[in-house]
Amino acid sequence: MLPAARPNEAAAHIAGFVDDLNALVRPCILARVDAVNDLERKATAQSFDQFVQWWLDEAADHPELVYEARRGSHQPALLAGFDDEDPETAGWSTLWSLRDVDAESTLFLEL
């Protein structure tokens, strides 16, 4: 949605597109939440705002911030794998695909 935010290196430059992020992306997310469960709107808005503020702080602290660092590099990254247990990884814990979101469950069929 935001061309300025597309490159990996753009994570460090959020200050240049934060207004567009709040004006364009935030309303889309909140509209989707309203369509699914409007009771979650307030909590989602607060989470979005907290994440954006954290992102601004990270970008201010790390001018070389990227969305995803190359494997093996120690470059600061905005996002980290949800199951990444490296103590030096400080990014936002992120599930990378819907396969990560889907939990397995055991089914017992009683006849």
Residue with tokens 């794998």: 81
- Which structure tokens are listed for 72? 């093996």
> What pTM was estimated for this model as a whole?
0.78
Window from 21-25, 65-69, 83-87 with minimum mean pLDDT: 83-87
Q: Are 79 and 68 in contact (CB under 8 A)?
A: yes
Tokens representing 27 are 């309303």
33-55 residue pLDDT tens: 999 999 999 999 999 999 999 99
Task: Write down the pLDDT at residue 96.
Answer: 67
Token digits of residue 35 = 């369509």
Tokens of 81: 């794998």
